[in-house]
Amino acid sequence: MNRFLKGAMILTIAGIVVKIMGAFSKVILARILGGEGIGLYQMAYPIYQIIVSIATAGLPVAISIMVADKLANNDALGVQKIHRVSMSLLATLGLVFSVAMYFATPLLIDRGGLVTDPRAYYAILALSPSIFVVTLLSCLRGYFQGFQDMLPTGMSQVFEQLFRVTAMVGLAYWLLPKGLHWAAAGASLATLPGVTAGLLVLLYFYRRQRKVRQELLITQNPQATTETALAIMKRLIILAIPVSMANIMMPIVSGIDLGVVPRRLVEAGYTVREATTLFGYLTGMATSLVNLPVILTTSLAASLVPAISEAYAKRNMEEIRQRTHMAMKIAALITIPAFVGLCVLATPVSSMLYATPNAGGPIAVMSLSIFLLGMQQVTTGVLQGLGRTAIPMINLIVCTILKIPLSWYLTAQPEWGINGAAWSTNIDFGLAAALNMIFVYKYIGYRLPLLLMMKIACAALAMGGAAVVVYYMALSLTGNAVAVLLAIVGAVVVYGGALLLTKALEKEDIYHLPFIGKRLRRKENA
């Protein structure tokens, strides 16, 4: 249990650092480019995300499952062969898709294409070289995650974001005098030095792992089955295709918004520039904030897959249920208060970070996705670890199909507008989470702890009320930014106290924490 939580904590810390840097860069980028420039950038990035999801084809998750299974059976030779085959496969896929995106860019911009604003052309084109590098990056991350060693992945994420953010701000500012479309292209091009830096970090850790690999070879299981390269590729593909489709659904949601939202806003009476600006509020500002607390559930899901796979290989169902419960509880403890807090402080936060209150509406509506997406990600991690990789894929496909008419209808309604697109996303994530939960119960007999969820919700509501009171009291004495920060501090204090009063957080939970749990238990027993 401790190893699983340690991995999740490492990825969470790395994810927080990455998101803080990303949010900081978005704030600066929003001030450089404005809502219109952010909209151009966000028209390019979902396309890149979809292609990367296809190019990697879910193989990193498949690699982590297969590596964890081989390690559970002491098959070091099998691990090495999986690594060689997967690297070759992903390098080939990355090269093909990188070239394909480069030559397909004009088709996306032509009349009737996916992108409504032709100024996004260079922003899309600038992302194509990064695809090849990111496939190799993803393969190595899957390899290390199979070992349940999350440090290389975490460090590579930090360095990737550091180089990307630095280059993004620098290139956008440098190219702005040449036009808004060139500045957006510069922000897109910054992805390349970022993923290159992340790849170099992983190669460093792989070199350092030589001694570990040699030790594993000494304990090689002589009865382990030797698989051919073709057999490995077949199993990788069988596991990876459903994961790939599930991963694709997330950027496809963004792609649906890209294809539907600006067009329907124009049909509702907005100009192209106004529609692009509103789209920037939703995808470049609201979504960025929503994705910040979801770092934890992303980390939990990544750590859960090999941990559940290992326990499942040993047929230890009790361990699977314990790890699932711990992940769900931690996810709820973070995502529920994050949703409530961001909802009640949406407009003040928008003014503080983006120098505009206009993104407050989309931020408030999208805040619900923090909880819904968190539940969907954790349950997806459980099902993938069980080898049921097709189920999250099917659930997301069903929900994504439902989102298309919802976005189409709600966005064009005057009383909904851009908030209609946000609500359609909430429904998409919520239904996917509910369907996943049904199958988790079917396969491992785990039910959603409703009483625990109610306790956390009550604590979060008390926190939200406190945040509003502190904010308006502080606003009468100081500026908006200071008032927001004081409201957050007050909210954290109230939430912590409410958790203890409701007993949603118990002493035993703290003992499970990596690094400090053992020390606290030892100190208490002394």
Q: Which residue has the higher pLDDT, 210 or 516?
A: 210
Highest-pLDDT range among 193-202, 308-317, 515-524: 193-202
Residues 6+ apart with CB under 8 A from 289: 23, 342, 349, 353, 363, 366, 367
pLDDT top residue among 58 and 159: 159
How far apart CA 312 and CA 309 sit, in angstroms, is 5
Q: What local confidence, expressed as pLDDT, does residue 194 receive? A: 92
Query: What token pair was written down for 163?
Result: 């180089």
Which of these ranges, 148-152, 283-287, 485-489, 508-512, has the smallest mean pLDDT?
A: 508-512
Residue 289 scores a pLDDT above 90: no
Handedness of CA 68, 154, 170, 38 (dihedral sign): positive
The pLDDT of 65-93, averaged and rounded, is 87
In this predicted structure, what is the pLDDT of residue 523? 62
CA-based diameter of the chain, in Å?
Answer: 74
Phi-psi region of 315 (alpha: psi -120 to 50; beta: other; left: phi over 0): left
In angstroms, the first-to-last Cα distance of the chain is 23
- 161-195: pLDDT as tens digits: 999 989 988 888 888 888 887 888 888 888 899 99
Contacts for 359-363: CB closer than 8 Å, 24+ residues apart: 359/281, 359/282, 359/285, 359/286, 361/418, 361/419, 362/281, 362/282, 362/285, 362/286, 362/418, 362/419, 362/421, 362/422, 363/285, 363/286, 363/289, 363/290
Residue pair 98/131 in contact (Cβ under 8 Å)? The answer is: yes
- Over 80: is that where the pLDDT of 424 sits? yes
Q: For 329-343, what is the mean pLDDT?
A: 91
What pLDDT does residue 522 have? 62
Question: Is a pLDDT exceeding 90 seen at residue 315?
Answer: no
Using CA atoms, how far apart are residues 291 and 45, in angstroms rounded to an integer? Answer: 15
Q: Given this model, what pLDDT does residue 121 score?
A: 80
Q: What is the pLDDT of residue 217?
A: 85
Average the pLDDT over 261-282 and give the result: 80
CB-based contact 378:302 (threshold 8 Å): no
| Residue with the larger pLDDT of the pair 440 and 303 | 440
Q: How far apart are CA 9 and CA 281, in angstroms?
A: 31
Paired tokens of 81: 């062969």
The domain locations on the chain are 2-216+228-448, 449-526
| Residue 177: how many other CB atoms lie within 10 Å | 8
- Angle, helices 317-344 vs 480-502, to 10°: value is 140
The least confident of 220-234, 236-250, 288-302, 459-473 is: 236-250
Q: What local confidence, expressed as pLDDT, does residue 223 receive?
A: 77
How far apart CA 43 and CA 124 sit, in angstroms, is 8
Instruction: Give the DSSP H or E segment for 382.
Output: helix 368-385
Average pLDDT over residues 354-358: 79
- Can you list the alpha helix ranges (DSSP code H) found in 57-150? 59-72, 76-109, 121-125, 130-146
Q: Which amino acid is at 518?
A: K
Q: 400 pLDDT exceeds 90?
A: no
pLDDT at 436 over 90: yes
What's the pLDDT score for residue 159? Answer: 95
Helix axes 390-411, 368-385, angle to 10 degrees: 160
Amino acid 510: pLDDT: 64
pLDDT at 205: 94
Task: Determine the average pLDDT of the residues in 209-223.
Answer: 85
More confident of the two residues 409 and 42:
409
Mean pLDDT for the stretch of residues 391-397:
88
Enter the pTM of the model: 0.77
| 228-242, 266-280, 393-407, 483-497: range with highest mean pLDDT | 483-497
Share of the chain above pLDDT 70, in %: 92
**Arithmetic mean of pLDDT, 406-424:** 83
| Residue 271, both tokens | 């100009």
Res 112 pLDDT > 60? no
Categorize the per-residue pLDDT at 382 as very low, low, confident or very high, splitting at 50, 70 and 90. Answer: very high
What letter would DSSP give residue 513?
A: S
pLDDT digits (tens, 9 = 90+) for 469-514: 998 888 888 888 899 899 999 999 999 888 888 887 766 666 556 5
Determine which of 177-191, 234-248, 356-370 has the lowest per-residue pLDDT on average.
234-248
237: left (phi over 0), alpha (psi -120 to 50) or beta: alpha
